């Protein structure tokens, strides 16, 4: 069954609707209260203050609707001919949602539904399921109701709010649901994802467990520190956010896309950051997914830095060199990790560390143009144990240190038996005591690559 998803709206002058105001099958976003054609329905004994446009107490947009009656606390009702929906069938459910603030501390609100066949026919009460909701004068309260549209597609269904004393009404939504009697007041549970693009944005829609994702709004900002978009704080479910309007003071509403078939949008004005937000049939908004496009994408897929947590890279890092050997100290058992930084901000870096100490790590850089890639490779080896078989004269202990004699200008290293280098340098004289203080044990001294076993007692 094709569902007709329609939102209750007081429509702007000149907006094309059917003969007496009901929505007839197209998708409509909520609009602000601008033109009022309805008044309190005196059929139900209401003789109080007529409906009035209110420009000081409103939840979103720039107006709310005041429906006040101060004569007594008996229930009063009102209609408005611009608020209506023709259901798809005589089964299923018509739901209505509204936000209300009380006129005084004893105000209550009930959101019923009624129906009529023509513009001039009297409004009839439908069998609605709604209960009176207590209001307060400081915060907005969401009020809901629903009915089975037993009269079918020949009738238009309207909300007719009931109230005691009255209040301020804003952000009406009405929709038809073929299967559920539960009015959807739950936000989409999965936000949009995979937002990408430069001149044209693309994304993957999220999901909604209630009435399903039905559309998307796109916001843009040029703020360097944009306000966080928070559901229930500055993005209000059932709220009126027209194209060109603002959310959270520094975000501009760029477009409202009905349905889920379109998942791309080309902004006519460039913004530094965008937000993609889904909404469901009841106009509950998902969390915002923000995205900052890459400006002037390039083909640079190089690194500006590359390092490993253990061992020494050979040769030393250069952006143009893509293959490196890394020797790990003798006895290494922990697999090192790699760190890398892209040369261009916004380029994507994917690191795959080696799985063994003699394995290979790779770093893949994807340029900001999204296509050019560069791959850096690090091949690990582990140093072998020290060879103590060969000997060299004139290398001996001097207390806790070691003396090298007769080798001015020689490269000398002192290495422990577990392969740790304790000293490495060049002797400058024919007899030099090395600047090391050794514990009791056996060490290897390498003089120009030739090893001597030395015992410190």
Express each pLDDT in 186-218 by its tens digit.
Answer: 999 999 998 888 788 999 999 999 999 999 999
- Following DSSP, what letter does each residue of 331-393 receive, concatenated? T--SPP-EEEEESSTT-EEEEE--SSTTSEEEEEEE-TTSS-EEEEEEEEEEPPPP--S---S
**Closest among 291, 309, 417 to 357, alpha carbons compared:** 309
Percent of the chain with pLDDT over 90: 43
Which residue intervals of 249-341 are DSSP H helices?
none
Taking the C-alpha atoms of residue 60 and residue 82, their distance in angstroms, rounded to an integer, is: 19
**For the whole model, what pTM was predicted?**
0.62
Q: Distances from the Cα of 119 to the Cαs of 15, 20, 52, 82, 366, in angstroms?
A: 17, 5, 22, 11, 63
pLDDT for the residue numbered 449: 75
Q: What are phi and psi of 306, to 5 degrees?
A: -150, 130
Structure token pair of residue 108: 């209550």
Using DSSP's 3-state secondary structure scheme, residue 152 falls into helix
pLDDT of residue 251: 97
**Would you say 100 and 109 are in contact if contact means Cβ atoms under 8 Å apart?**
yes
Answer whether 299's CB lies under 8 Å from 367's CB.
yes
Q: How does pLDDT run across 135-179, given as a tens digit for each residue?
A: 999 999 999 999 998 888 888 888 878 888 888 989 989 888 888
9 vs 436, higher pLDDT: 436
Read off the pLDDT of residues 33-46 as tens digits, 9 standing for 90 and up.
Answer: 765 544 444 444 34
Please give the structure tokens belonging to residue 372. 């050019």
**Which domains does the chain show, CATH number per domain?**
42-177 (2.60.120), 193-291 (no CATH), 303-382 (2.60.40), 395-456 (no CATH)
Site of tokens 């060879």: 387
């Amino acid at each position: 069954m094709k569902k007709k998803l329609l939102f209750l709206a007081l429509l702007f002058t000149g907006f094309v609707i059917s003969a007496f105001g009901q929505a007839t099958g197209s998708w409509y976003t909520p609009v602000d209260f601008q033109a009022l054609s309805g008044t309190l329905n005196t059929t139900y004994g209401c003789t109080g203050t007529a409906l009035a446009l209110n420009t000081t107490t409103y939840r979103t947009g720039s107006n709310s609707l005041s429906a006040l009656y101060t004569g007594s606390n008996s229930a009063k009702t009102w209609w408005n001919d611009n608020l209506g929906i023709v259901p798809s069938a005589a089964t299923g459910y018509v739901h209505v949602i509204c936000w209300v603030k009380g006129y005084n501390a004893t105000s209550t609100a009930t959101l019923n539904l009624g129906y009529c066949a023509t513009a001039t026919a009297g409004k009839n009460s439908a069998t609605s399921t709604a209960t009176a909701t207590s209001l307060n004068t400081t915060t907005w309260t969401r009020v809901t109701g629903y009915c089975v549209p037993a009269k079918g597609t020949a009738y238009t269904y309207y909300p007719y709010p009931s109230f005691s004393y009255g209040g301020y009404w804003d952000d009406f939504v009405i929709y038809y649901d073929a299967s559920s009697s539960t009015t959807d007041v739950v936000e989409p549970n999965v936000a949009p994802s995979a937002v990408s693009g430069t001149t044209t944005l693309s994304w993957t829609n999220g999901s909604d467990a209630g009435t399903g994702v039905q559309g998307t709004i796109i916001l843009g900002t040029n703020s360097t520190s944009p306000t966080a978009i928070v559901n229930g704080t500055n993005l209000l479910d059932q709220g009126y956010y027209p194209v060109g309007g603002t959310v959270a003071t520094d975000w501009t509403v760029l477009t409202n896309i009905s349905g889920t078939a379109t998942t791309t949008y080309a902004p006519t004005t460039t913004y530094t950051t965008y937000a993609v937000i889904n909404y469901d049939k009841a106009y509950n908004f998902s969390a915002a997914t923000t995205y900052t496009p890459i400006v002037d994408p390039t083909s640079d897929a190089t690194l500006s830095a590359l390092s490993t947590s253990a061992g020494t890279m050979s040769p030393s890092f250069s952006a143009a060199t893509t293959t490196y050997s890394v020797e790990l100290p003798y006895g290494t058992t922990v697999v090192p990790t790699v760190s890398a930084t892209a040369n261009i901000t916004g380029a994507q870096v994917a690191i795959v560390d080696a799985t063994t100490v003699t394995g290979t790590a790779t770093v893949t850089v994807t340029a900001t143009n999204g296509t050019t890639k560069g791959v850096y490779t690090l091949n690990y080896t582990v140093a072998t144990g020290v060879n103590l078989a060969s000997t060299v004269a004139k290398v001996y202990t001097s207390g806790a240190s070691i003396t090298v004699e007769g080798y001015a200008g020689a490269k000398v290293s002192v290495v422990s038996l577990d392969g740790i280098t304790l000293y490495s340098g060049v002797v400058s004289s024919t007899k030099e005591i090395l600047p090391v203080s050794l514990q009791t044990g056996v060490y290897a001294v390498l003089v120009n690559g030739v090893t001597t076993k030395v015992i410190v007692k």
